[in-house]
Amino acid sequence: MGVSTSAPDKGIAVVTVDFPPVNAFPVRGWYDLAAALRAAGADPEVRCVVLTAEGRGFNAGVDIKELQRAAGHGALLGANRGCSEAFAAVYDCEVPVIAAVHGFCLGGGIGLVGNADAIVAAEDATFGLPELDRGALGAATHLARLVPQHLMRTLYYTSRTVTAEELHRHGSVWRVVPREALRDAALELAREIAAKDGHLLRLAKAAINGIDPVDVRRSYRFEQGFTFEANLSGVADRVRDTFGGGGGSGAGGGATDTTFTRDREEQS
């Protein structure tokens, strides 16, 4: 359980997360993931990183139960800083990062995949930001890297999810494959990238980040300020206290969100 790194092929590092039952990360988990990504990127033998997960889904965001148990704002500060570090570690990784996504990718998961260089997804993958239903804000910065502006706003305001196939049509997901083929598909793309000159790949990553029209660190930090405001005003606690009462609704969430809620209740 936790974060681990393996090297299945020359030039490729696979960083795997595993926080049962639904990969809702504790504060420490975000920092551990950031450290693993930075270490992989700093390894001169690595030319591509694959970020993947064990379990039923790729990422369920922050462990809300941990926030609810903690007194004061220490856990909230830790979660926000940890998310910021992990998202930045994906973006700033010295080599390309491929996100291999299955099941649900929610909240902080959007921050990770939105900052990745490429996404390969299983047919069962769904993506969304249920922040407004969970007493939080944030990661619109990263959702905007996956879908057009007006769709991002609609998804954000409604807390609906979209499928891997829908993101594929928007061009943000490279391939959609059966669940059992996800790892092989991600490694296939990683091998193609890792076949390039390592030094040139690192220059390419730095160059592409340098021409990005949005400073993702600054943009996400701006969003986080409103999360703190929501907490200090009490509205975040009021919304979080209702968490677990019924899951999502509508075409984007429905049964998936209900199952997700039940699993997170079992977690703590």
What's the per-residue H, E or C state across 162-197? EEHHHHHHHCCCCEEECHHHHHHHHHHHHHHHHCCC
pLDDT at position 75, please? 77
- Asked whether the bond before 148 is cis by omega within 30 degrees of 0, the reply is no
pLDDT tens digit at each of 268 positions of the chain: 899 999 999 999 999 999 999 999 999 999 999 999 999 999 999 999 999 999 999 999 988 777 677 777 777 788 889 999 999 999 999 999 999 999 999 999 999 999 999 999 999 999 999 999 988 899 999 999 999 999 999 999 999 999 999 999 999 999 999 999 999 999 999 999 999 999 999 999 999 999 999 999 999 999 989 988 988 898 988 887 776 533 322 222 322 332 333 343 333 3
Q: How many CA atoms lie within 13 A of 47 on its CB side?
A: 17
72: left (phi over 0), alpha (psi -120 to 50) or beta: left
CATH of the domain at 228: 3.90.226.10
pLDDT at position 1, please? 86
Distance of CA 234 to the CA centre of its chain: 26
pLDDT at position 243, please? 62
Chain segment 16-44, per-residue pLDDT in tens: 999 999 999 999 999 999 999 999 999 99
Q: How many CA atoms lie within 13 A of 184 on its CB side?
A: 5
List the structure tokens of 168. Answer: 């594929």
Q: pTM value? A: 0.89
Are residues 55 and 18 in contact, defined by beta-carbon separation less than 8 angstroms? yes
pLDDT at position 260, please? 39
Number of structural domains the chain divides into: 1
pLDDT at position 264, please? 39
- In terms of residue numbers, what domain contains 26? 2-267
pLDDT at position 257, please? 35
CA distance 191 to 206: 20
